[in-house]
Structure 1
Amino acid sequence: MKKLSEKLFEIEQLVHAIIEQGNDPLYTVIDQGKGVVRVTPTPLTKRLSSTVKNYLYPLLNQFPIHEFNPYINAFFRSVINTNVMESIEQQASLNKRHNRYQTDGDYPVMQELMTRMHACVDQIRAETKSAAFRTIIYNANRLSKKNQDGMMHYIDSLFDHYSKLIVVRIDLGYQKGNHIINQADIPKKYWQARSHFKHFLNNTRRNSLFEHLVGNIWSFEYGPEKGFHYHLILFFDGSKVRQDVILARMVGDYWVKCIVGSQGRIWNCNANKDTYPDCGIGLIHFSDTEKREHLNQAAAYLIKIDHYVRMLTPGDGRTFGRGEILPPKTGNIGRPRSK
Structure 2
Amino acid sequence: MESQSGVEGVDDNAEIDDRALTVEDDLIKRLKRIDRVVKSVVECDEDLFYVRLRGGKPTLGSLRLGKALISVLVVGEYEYSYYFPLHNVSPYADLLFRCVERLEDPFLPYMINNLLAHEIGRAVCFLNELVDDIKSEAHSTKFKKTIRRFDKAARKRSKSLSQYVEALFNKHSRLLVVRVDLSYRSEYFQTEELREKVKQVKNDWSKMQRDLYQGIPVPGMLGFACKLEYGHLKGFHFHLLVFYDGAKYRKDIVLAKLIGKHWAEVITNGRGTYYNCNKNKGKYRRLGIGVINHFDSEKVSNLKGYVSEYLVKVDYWVRLLPECGRVFFRGNMPKMKSLRRGRPRGSFKTTSNI
TM range (shorter): 0.7 to 0.9
User: Residue 293 of structure 1 corresponds to which residue in structure 2?
Assistant: 301
1:239 match: 247
Equivalent pair of 1:62/1:223 in contact (CA under 8 Å): yes
Distance 1:186 1:30 in 2: 50
Letter in structure 1 aligned against 2:53: D
Letter in 1 for 2:167: S
Q: 1:188 aligns with which of 196, 200, 225?
A: 196
Question: How far apart are 1:147 and its partner, in Å?
Answer: 1.5
Residue identity matched to 1:177 = E
1:200 and 2:222 aligned: no
Amino acid at match of 2:309: A
2:131 corresponds to which residue? 121
**Do structure 1's residue 35 and structure 2's residue 57 form an aligned pair?**
yes
Question: Partners in 1 of 2:170 and 2:105 — Cα distance?
Answer: 54
Find the partner of 2:238 among 230, 237, 244: 230
Partner AA of 1:63 in structure 2: F
Instruction: Work out whether residues 211 and 217 of structure 2, in 8 Å CA contact, stay in contact via their aligned partners in 1.
Output: no
Task: Choose which of 48, 55, 68 in structure 2 pairs with 1:26.
Answer: 48
Asked if 1:70 is matched to 2:79, the reply is no
| Alpha-carbon distance in structure 2 between the residues aligned to 1:179 and 1:120 | 38
Partners of 1:335 and 1:14 in 2: how far apart?
55
Judged with a 3 Å threshold, the aligned counterparts in structure 2 of structure 1 residues 43 and 32 are, in CA distance, closer, same or farther, namely closer
Q: What is the CA RMSD across the aligned residues, in angstroms?
A: 2.9
What code does the residue aligned with 1:156 have? E
Matched position secondary structure for 2:222: strand
CA distance in 2, matches of 1:41, 1:50: 12
SS of match in other structure, 1:169: strand
The aligned residue for residue 9 of structure 2 is none
Matched, 1:167 2:177: yes
- 2:293 aligned with 1:270: no
TM-score, normalised to structure 1's length?
0.82
Secondary structure in structure 2 of the residue aligned to 1:210: coil
Q: Distance in 1 between matches of 2:263 and 2:314?
A: 24
Q: 1:45 aligns with which of 58, 66, 69?
A: 66
* Structure-2-length-normalised TM-score: 0.79
Paired position in structure 2 for 1:130: 140
Listed as ranges, the gaps of 5+ residues in structure 1 are: 95-104
Identity of aligned residues (%): 28
SS of 2:157 mapped into structure 1: helix
Question: Are residue 309 (structure 1) and residue 309 (structure 2) matched?
Answer: no
| 2:288 corresponds to | 280
1:71-100, Cα deviation, whole Å (9 max, x unpaired) = 3321221234338873333345x5xxxxxx
Check conservation: 1:27, 1:42, Cα contact below 8 A: yes
SS in structure 2 at match of 1:51: helix
Per-residue Cα deviation, 1:240-283 (whole angstroms, up to 9, x for no partner): 22232232222111111111122212122223322222232222
How far apart, in 2, do the equivalents of 1:155 and 1:291 lie? 12
SS at match of 1:146: helix
Q: Shift in Å at residue 306 of structure 1?
A: 2.7
> What secondary structure does 1:279 align onto?
coil
Amino acid at match of 1:337: G
User: Displacement of 1:195 after TM fit?
Assistant: 0.7
The Cα shift of 1:106 comes to 3.8
User: Counterpart of 1:204 in 2: which secondary structure?
Assistant: helix
Task: State the aligned residue count.
Answer: 323
Partner in structure 1 of residue 7 of structure 2:
none
**Is 2:189–2:235's contact at 8 Å kept on the other side of the alignment?**
yes
